[in-house]
């Protein structure tokens, strides 16, 4: 199966059903009495995590998700049917972002965990809801509220305790294959691994953890070079980083320079990866010059960095390394994406947002924009006198009339809100 770990999609929740104007037949009740029912709720877009999926492949081939609208209200105060939510199943470890703002909408880390990403619109009220002693037979109703819609970026970030990092061909895949039952592709050329691999590692004392073998990093990976930048996101959840170094320098590289370069890329990536516990593994100790290089390497990194020499194919040195990883995991704090977000230094309440803005388009045309006033237009039933008068009172109370006067609107000018136009009268 093709491994897909990042997809952009469009999601739209369902519109609420419209309320209706209706009357019943009853003696001595004006116009039979109001009996218009409410509309049903629109379907929401829900993301649900499941262990039965391992890739976002399904989302790659279906980029639009649109939930159904709620049913319209009916006579005899009958409510319209609520629309079913649209459930999008994704692998455990999926993060959903608002693609336009970059904000994290949900982070699904447990099987069965779900989150409403786009909320369905509420149903409009029927005229039975607007009856009063002063107006016992109203012809007012509401249209259904539009559902939320947005462009989403969906990312899969593997749930691994330990991440293997290092240059290409340093032996990460070989190491994973000998400490777990994972069978990654192994060959003597660069970028043999082009997708992350996971394996469960069992330590001899009974402890276990999940290890991820990630495609090799190269210089500039944090800025987008090579394959590694595509998979750095999978290190974000790892609590311990195992840094594998080819101590033999078999490709003419200096092991210490390799070590510094990989740490530089980790440091320049987000989420403070260098602050996480790191274990250094000196691999390929059976090759020429490995012993001499190890001595020089330890002198340069100092005594604070513990280095574990291993020969992965013959399992030499693996037990000490695995015990060290398990001990470090026991003390490593849990890391979540929310904890890594920048600290909020200022926030504002919704009441601070202006309910509308007025734009003078010239030639006597004024355009009114704003989420609150646009929502009034979308839900107003403008085809009855009562409905139109109610809408006029609402925008007047909101201050639109006064704002238009201040903006220079005169009698006969055209005012446009979304696709609704009316003539301004002072």
* 311 known member of a binding site: yes
Distances (CA, A) of 158 to 91, 187, 199: 9, 24, 11
Question: Binding site annotation covers 169?
Answer: yes
Is 168 annotated for ligand binding? yes
214 is in an annotated binding site: yes
Distance between CA atoms of 288 and 296, rounded to whole angstroms?
14
SS3 291: helix
**Is 22 known to sit in a ligand binding site?**
no
**Is 88 annotated among the ligand-binding residues?**
no
Q: Cα angle at 104 between 211 and 210, to 5 degrees?
A: 10
H/E element, 228: helix 228-231
Known binding residue 286? Answer is yes
Minimal CA–CA distance to 276: which of 316, 307, 306, 235? 235
Token pair belonging to 233:
């996101």
194 is in an annotated binding site: yes
Residue 324 assigned as binding residue: no
Q: Tell whether the torsion through CA atoms of 255, 260, 261 and 267 is positive or negative.
A: positive
- Residue 313 labelled as part of a binding site: yes
208 known member of a binding site: no
Q: Which of 278, 210, 202, 203 is nearest to 245 (CA)?
A: 278
Asked whether residue 213 is marked as a ligand-binding residue, the answer is: yes
Q: Is 172 annotated as a binding residue?
A: yes
Residue 171 labeled ligand binder: yes
Is 310 labeled as ligand-binding? no
Side by side, the strands of the sheet bearing 240-246 are 197-202, 208-213, 162-165, 240-246, 278-283, 307-309
- Whole-angstrom Cα distance, residue 233 to residue 122? 37
> Is position 193 annotated in a ligand binding site?
yes
Q: How far is CA 395 from CA 356, 372, 374, 375, 402, in A?
A: 10, 10, 10, 11, 10
Residues comprising the binding site for GTP? 166-173, 191-195, 213-216, 283-286, 311-313
Q: Return binding residues for Mg(2+).
A: 173, 193
Give the residue numbers of the binding site.
166-173, 191-195, 213-216, 283-286, 311-313
């Amino acid at each position: 199966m093709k491994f897909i770990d990042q997809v952009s999609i469009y999601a739209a929740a369902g519109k609420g059903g419209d309320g209706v104007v209706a009357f019943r037949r009853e003696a001595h009740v004006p116009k039979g009495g109001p009996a218009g029912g409410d509309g049903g709720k629109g379907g929401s877009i829900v993301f649900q995590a499941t262990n039965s999926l391992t890739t976002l492949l399904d989302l790659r081939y279906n980029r639009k998700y649109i939930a159904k609208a709620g049913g319209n209200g009916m006579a005899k105060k009958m409510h319209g049917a609520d629309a079913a939510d649209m459930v999008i199943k994704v692998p455990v470890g999926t993060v959903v972002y608002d693609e336009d703002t970059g904000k994290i909408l949900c982070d699904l880390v447990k099987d069965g965990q779900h989150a409403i990403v786009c909320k369905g619109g509420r149903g409009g009220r029927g005229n039975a809801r607007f009856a009063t002693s002063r107006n016992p037979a109203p012809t007012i109703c509401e249209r259904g509220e539009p559902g939320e819609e947005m462009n989403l970026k969906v990312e899969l970030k593997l749930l691994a305790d330990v991440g293997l990092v290092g240059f290409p061909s340093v032996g990460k895949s070989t190491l994973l294959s000998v400490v777990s039952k994972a069978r990654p592709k192994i060959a003597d050329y660069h970028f043999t691994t082009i997708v992350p691999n996971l394996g469960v590692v069992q330590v001899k004392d009974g402890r276990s953890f999940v290890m991820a073998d990630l495609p090799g990093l190269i210089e500039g990976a944090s800025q987008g070079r090579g394959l590694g930048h595509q998979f750095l996101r999978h290190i974000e959840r790892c609590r311990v980083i195992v840094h594998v170094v080819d101590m033999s320098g078999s490709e003419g590289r200096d092991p210490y320079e390799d070590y510094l370069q990989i740490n530089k890329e980790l440091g320049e990536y987000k989420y403070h990866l260098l602050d996480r516990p790191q274990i250094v593994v000196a691999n390929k100790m059976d090759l020429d010059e490995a012993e001499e290089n190890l001595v020089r390497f330890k002198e340069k990194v100092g005594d604070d960095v513990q280095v574990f020499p291993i020969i992965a194919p013959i399992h030499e040195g693996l037990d000490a390394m695995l015990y060290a990883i398990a001990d470090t995991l026991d003390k490593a704090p849990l890391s979540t994406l929310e904890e890594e977000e920048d600290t909020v230094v200022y926030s504002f309440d919704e009441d601070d947002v202006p309910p509308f803005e007025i734009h003078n388009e010239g030639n006597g045309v004024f355009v009114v924009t704003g989420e609150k006033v646009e929502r009034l237009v979308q839900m107003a039933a403008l085809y009855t006198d009562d409905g139109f008068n109610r809408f006029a009172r609402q925008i007047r109370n909101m201050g639109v009339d006064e704002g238009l006067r201040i903006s220079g609107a005169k009698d006969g000018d055209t005012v446009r809100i979304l696709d609704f136009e009316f003539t301004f009268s002072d």
